[in-house]
Amino acid sequence: MPRSRNINEFIKNKASVVGLIIIMILSLAAIFADFISPYSADTIALKEKLMPPSSEHLMGTDQLGRDVLTRVIYGTRTTFELSIMVVAFTATFGVLVGVISGFYRGIIDEILMRLIDVLLAFPSIILALVVVGALGPGIFNTVLAVSLVGWLYYARVARASTLSIREKEYVEGARAIGCTDSYICLRYILPNCLPPIIVLITLNLGSVILTIAALGYLGMGAQPPTPEWGTMLNDGKEYLRDCPWLSVFPGLMIMIAVLAFNFIGDGLRDAIDPRQMVIK
Amino acid sequence: MLFAYSTLLKLLRRLCIFCLVLVASTTLVFIMLHSLPGERAEVMARYIFLGNIEISPSNEEIQLITQKFDLDQSLLSQYSDWVTGVLHGDLGRSYKSNRPVLEEITLRLPATFTLASVSVLISLLIGIPLGLLAAIRQNSILDYICSTGAIFGISIPNFWLALMLILTFSIALDITPVIGYGGASHLILPAITLGTASAAVLMRLTRSSLLEVMRQDYIRTAKGKGLANRDILITHSLKNALIPIITMIGLEFGHLLGGTVIIETIFAWPGIGRLLIDSISARDVPVIQGCVLFITLMYMLLNFIVDSIYPMVDPRIGGSQFA
Amino acid sequence: MSLLSIEHLESHFVTEDGLVKAVDDVDLEIDRSETLGLVGESGCGKTVLALSILKLLSENTKINGKIVYKGKDLLKLNEADLQAIRGKEIAHIFQNPLNSLNPVLSVGFQICEPFMLHQKARKSQALDEAVKMLNLVGIPLPSERAKEYPHEFSGGMRQRVMIAMGLACRPSLIIADEPTRGLDPTIQAQVVDLMKELIETSGASMLLITHDLSLAAELCDKIAVMYSGEILEYADTEEFFKKPAHPYSVGFLESLPSRSMKPIRGTSLSLINPPRGCRFFARCDQSTEKCKDIHPELKKVKDGQFARCHLYA
């Protein structure tokens, strides 16, 4: 697969480049939050509570007088940390299961296929809610809850790639000269899984961010005072009429982050999938 | 004749799988909720003795509850008790309201059903036609607007969309009521919120599906026979393009059910989703169980219907769904 | 008197890598009740040529030249007039029947369509005609099978369905693209016999696209050899097989299993930047310096045989 051509395809897609830039900006904001925030995230200043956007507080202040812009910036950190954790777990576990299942087939593969068939479409937020409801809110439980079904996506994609490669002649050839199964998996199958998995990771990051924010909005996610966009929306909803800025900005950030990942994911998918390459 | 038989077999197999899911999900939830009997007894005690979840009950009160309701029995026997109950139509009683769980749920079913149906309708009526148009006029301005709009549609958090819609239409413009249950004016904002994401997904899929179909050799054959573009689209392309869309509609039902949880809460819409959230906050275990059961059932039923429609559109029945 | 006259046809694709000249300045003629075989290896441009006639190529192609059918230039017709000719006057029988038939429509319906479209027949009438066509092409139990779908037919049957579809409105010109490709030899023979019979009874002309020379020998009155977007030789079938003129034709014949199966050395060229001189230069054993620099024209070798080679200039 000519790498340079794919990269060129990707760059030509303006939306993807915009998405990439947005994510880079957000990542930098998350990493350097301490340096770029105008205020500290925890400083409570009740005298200045619920103030509209001004030159001192670009996004206004919340019900405890905290600067919303600062909390939004730190919220980037929380959101990214959580999502990366979820995706790291689910992708690793999912790809492992998918490759093993696709390679060895048999009863494990049958069970996995059935699981995938049905569980994937089941509203995962309901499961996540119940898990958090049973075990209690908080960061760890949120990650656990969201990861519970998420790995199936990766398993499915990894399995599909594995199935298509294991039939190829060079795999049979490798077996014939005595390569072990794990060598074949590592050297031939895994690299072939990577392109669609990378696309899935980008797109999945978007939906994981949405799920985490949704849990936060319902009060089941990160707990105060941890700044998280969904939780901030939850705090702000009772002030919707009088202090709309509390609801506008955190939600806007969620949308921008998810949008960026979707742009990137779309661009990657178009660049990699040969069927989509349009002859201009 | 022969393929009617194999369709039946496939549907039967699907039915078995769904039953498995039902059992699996309810079991999972049961285990999670019942693994701490002490806690449950405590919650029940709060409600029964004190009528209030905030105040802590005394240890004697907790003991009393544990004995009265056999809460210290093994997990398996509690589960079998529950299952027996379900098969007789008894889902237990809510800790909070003391009403039968079945009653609490059936009271709220119509509301969720109304909301879900209207949302689905909106998403179908917007998503599919726009997708078709975008594909027919590929790379035009219309296509660009629709495709960009669709990406926004799938990126926007539905709870935020709800808040923004309320801000705009209920608060600023004062056209619609903010929250509550009622007729069209109460229904329209929640339905639009729920329908948007699905509409966006359907639009994108319709577009790519139709584009894929138009690239096929049999379309060229149709053109070679002298058919006009309109006839090629309607007679030859649509049915083929619909096949993956039908699969997606089934998936979208799932997302929609999940979405009702949040949307009903925001709009104070008295449906099952809201009941689930409230019961989780209130640690009302029987209601949580009952809600999960019902939601799974609804999801199962909807998918069943979608699967039955599938062979009608694709005579190759195999289709990619069963591969 | 020629039925179809192709003059200076150029079909170019615009791609990222450059301009692909799939058909580069081709002249051909087909007379009434005549079968012309267009032979060549994969990628030489013969399918593109065939698709150009009814303008069935994709959007990013540029077609120049003239294709005159019964006095009208097809390339200058508007879409509506062209639709009236497609399927009725000129029928294209496509390669690969599995992909060329719509999987969700019954076979009977797909054969009905030309009748309903060009003869304004009602559905029931058209269905009767469709069943008659299925019978004509030798499909047993035609009225039952008309209700079935393409995936329920075998490869050979599907090919017959394509032929039935093409011949439905008794066209004057049939363009058949690799009609026997991928079929078992026994089935191939049946299809060939069928085509021969149909052509003879209807008196139609045919443009047969194939890489199978033995097929061409059986069905065609004249042979045109195509290579790298050009016609290298154009001859009466008899003359061609008696003594092919162009070195490429010689090599092609020699490579047949029925002969010595000796391959032509080298590989065919990319169609993007064709060489200055003769396109077959790099693979030709009889080439001279002249062949490298000067592009040969199609010249008469003898009566009924033309070749694009400096050997005959």
Chain A CB contacts of B154 below 8 Å: 262
d(CA A233, CA B160): 8
- All residues of chain A having their beta carbon less than 8 Å from the beta carbon of residue B264 are none
**Dihedral of the alpha carbons of A267, A268, A270, A271, in degrees to the nearest 10:** 110
Q: Which residues of B touch A212 (CB under 8 A)?
A: none
Size of interface A-C (CB pairs under 8 A): 9
Point out the residue among A114, A254, A262 whose CB comes nearest to the CB of B157. Answer: A254
Distance from CA of B129 to the nearest CA of C (A): 21
Structure tokens given for B102:
């079945």
When pLDDT is averaged across residues B44-56 and rounded to a whole number, the result is 67
Asked if A96 reaches chain B (Cβ–Cβ under 8 Å), the answer is no
Integer angstrom CA distances of residue C41 from A158, C215, C262: 39, 14, 15
Antiparallel, parallel or unpaired: β C205-210 and C230-236? unpaired
Pick from C281, C236, C298: which is nearest to C8 by CA? C298
Which of B160, B169, B285 is most worth mutating to test chain A (most A CB atoms within 10 A of its CB)? B160
pLDDT at B161 over 70: yes
Check residue A262 and give its pLDDT: 93
Which residue bears the tokens 């997708």? B131
Query: Is residue B1 scored above 70 in pLDDT?
Result: no
Residues of chain C with pLDDT > 70, as a percent, come to 100
Show residues of chain C in contact with A280, CB under 8 Å: 14-16, 60
A contacts of B283 (beta carbons < 8 Å): 133
| pLDDT at residue A279 in the model | 26
Confidence of residue B198 (pLDDT cuts 50, 70, 90): very high
Q: Which of A5, A279, A280 to mutate to test the interface with C (most CBs of C within 10 A)?
A: A279
Closest chain C residue by Cα to residue A280: C15
* pLDDT band of B318, cuts 50, 70, 90: very low
C129: its two tokens: 């005609």
Question: Mean pLDDT score of chain B, rounded to an integer?
Answer: 83
pLDDT in tens, B81-118: 888 888 887 888 887 787 888 888 999 989 998 898 89
DSSP C286: T
The partner residue sitting opposite B261, judged by closest CB among A126, A219, A252, is: A126
Write out chain B residues lying below 8 Å of C60, CB-based. Answer: none
pLDDT at res. A107: 84
Q: What pLDDT sits at residue B54?
A: 65
Q: Is the pLDDT of residue C93 over 90?
A: yes
pLDDT band at B126 (very low <50, low <70, confident <90, very high): very high
Pairing of the two strands C72-73 and C35-39: unpaired
How confident is residue C92, by pLDDT bands cut at 50, 70 and 90?
very high
Residues in A touching B276 (Cβ below 8 Å) = 126, 129
Measured distance CA(C77)–CA(C66) in Å, rounded: 11
Task: Place B49 in a pLDDT band, splitting at 50, 70 and 90.
Answer: low
Smallest Cβ–Cβ distance between B316 and the set C100, C101, C151 belongs to: C151
Q: Is B317 a residue whose pLDDT tops 70?
A: no
CB contact under 8 A, B280 and A130: yes
| Residue B51: pLDDT band with limits 50, 70, 90 | low
Contact in structure between A208 and A146 (CB atoms under 8 Å): yes
What integer pLDDT is reported at residue A193 of this predicted model?
A: 83
Tell me which chain C residue has its CA closest to the CA of residue A5: C16
Query: How many other C-beta atoms can be found within 10 angstroms of the C-beta atom of residue B58?
Result: 11
Whether B322 shows a pLDDT value over 70: the answer reads no
Is A155 within 8 Å of A176 (Cβ atoms)? Answer: no
Residue A7 burial by Cβ neighbours in a 10 Å radius (0-12, 13-18, 19+): exposed
Minimum Cα–Cα distance from C152: chain B residue:
B316
Q: Are the Cβ atoms of A213 and B288 closer than 8 angstroms?
A: no
Determine the residue type at C151: H
Residue in this structure with the two tokens 């990542």, named with its chain if needed: A27
Residues of chain A with pLDDT under 70: 1-6, 8-9, 12, 118, 121, 273-280
Compare B24 and B120 and report the one with higher pLDDT.
B120
Q: Which of residues 108-127 of A touch C (CB under 8 A)?
A: none
Is there a contact between B225 and C56 if contact means CB atoms under 8 Å apart? Answer: no
- Which chains are within 8 Å of A by 3+ CB pairs? B, C
> What whole-number distance in Å separates Cα of residue B137 and Cα of residue A271?
22
**DSSP code for B93:** B
pLDDT attached to residue B289:
83
Task: Say whether residue B320 is in contact with chain C using an 8 A CB cutoff.
Answer: no
Q: Tell whether C64 lies on the interface with A, counting CB pairs under 8 A.
A: no
Smallest Cβ–Cβ distance between B255 and the set A123, A247, A263 belongs to A123
The H or E element that residue C63 is part of is: strand C61-69
Tell me if C165 sits within 8 A of C158, measured CB to CB. Answer: no
CA distance B186 to chain A (A): 18
What pLDDT is attached to residue A133? 75
Interface touch C99/B217, C-beta < 8 Å: yes
Q: Are C59 and C15 in contact (CB under 8 A)?
A: no
What is the b/e burial string over C154-181, where b = at least 16 CB atoms within 10 angstroms of the residue's CB? eebbbbbbbbbbbbbbebbbbbbbbbbb
Chain B residue numbers touching A117 (CB-CB < 8 A)? 17
Q: Which of C79, C84, C102 lies closest to B236 in CB terms?
A: C102
**pLDDT tens by residue, B173-197:** 887 777 888 778 888 899 999 999 9
Residue B323 has a pLDDT of: 28
Interchain CB contact of A177 with C (< 8 Å): no
| CB of C15 less than 8 A from some CB of A | yes
C86 touches B at CB < 8 Å: yes
* DSSP states of B94-158: -TTT-SBHHHHHHHHHHHHHHHHHHHHHHHHHHHHHHHHHHHHTTTSHHHHHHHHHHHHHHHS-H
Q: Does C84 touch chain B (CB under 8 A)?
A: yes
Name chain A contacts of B251, Cβ cutoff 8 Å. 120-121
The token pair at C86 is 């497609």
Judge whether B3 is closer than 8 Å to chain C, CB to CB.
no
pLDDT of res. C8: 93
pLDDT band of B55, cuts 50, 70, 90: low
Residue for token digits 């592009």?
A: C295
- Note which residues in 133-162 of chain C have CB less than 8 A from chain B: 149, 151
Exposure string (b/e) for B74-109, b if CB count within 10 Å is 16 or more? eeeebbeebeeebeeeebbbbbbeeebbbebbeebe
Overall size of chain A counted in residues: 280
Note if the bond before C179 is cis, omega within 30 degrees.
no
CA distances from C236 to A26, C22, C177 (A): 73, 25, 20
pLDDT at residue A1, as a whole number: 46
Q: What's the token pair of residue A71?
A: 């909390």
pLDDT at B89: 79
Distance between CA atoms of B128 and B144, rounded to whole angstroms? Answer: 16
Is the pLDDT at C49 greater than 70, yes or no? yes
The 10s digit of each residue's pLDDT in C125-147 is 999 999 999 998 889 999 999 99
pLDDT at B249 over 70: yes
Between B36 and C255, residue with greater pLDDT: C255
Q: Do B217 and C85 touch (CB under 8 A)?
A: no
Give pLDDT, residue C106: 93
Query: What pLDDT digit, counting tens, does each position of C199-246 carry?
Result: 888 889 999 999 888 889 989 999 999 998 899 999 999 989 888 999
In this complex, which chains have at least 3 CB pairs below 8 Å with chain C? A, B
CB C227 within 8 A of CB C280: yes
On the 0-12 / 13-18 / 19+ scale of CB atoms within 10 A, B39 is middle
Q: Does B303 reach chain A within 8 Å, measured CB to CB?
A: yes
Q: Among all residues of chain C, which has the CA nearest to that of B221?
A: C100
Pick from B25, B33, B159 the residue to mutate for testing the A interface (most A CBs within 10 Å).
B159
3-state secondary structure of A136: coil
Q: Is C91 on the interface with B (CB under 8 A)?
A: yes
Query: At C24, which helix (H) or strand (E)?
Result: strand C18-31
How many angstroms separate the CA of residue B7 from the nearest CA in chain C? 16
Most B-contacting residue of C85, C100, C174 (CB-CB within 10 A), to test interface: C100
Phi, psi of B296 (to 5 degrees): -60, -45
Asked if the Cβ–Cβ distance from B164 to A255 is below 8 Å, we say no
Q: Write the pLDDT tens digit of every residue in C56-69.
A: 998 888 899 999 99
The CB-side HSE value for B306 (13 A sphere, CA atoms) comes to 21
Q: How many residues does chain C have?
A: 313
Question: CA–CA separation, C131 vs C164, rounded Å?
Answer: 10
What's the average model confidence in pLDDT over B25-39?
69
Strands C72-73, C61-69: pairing is antiparallel
Q: Is the minimum CB–CB distance between B235 and chain C shorter than 8 Å?
A: yes
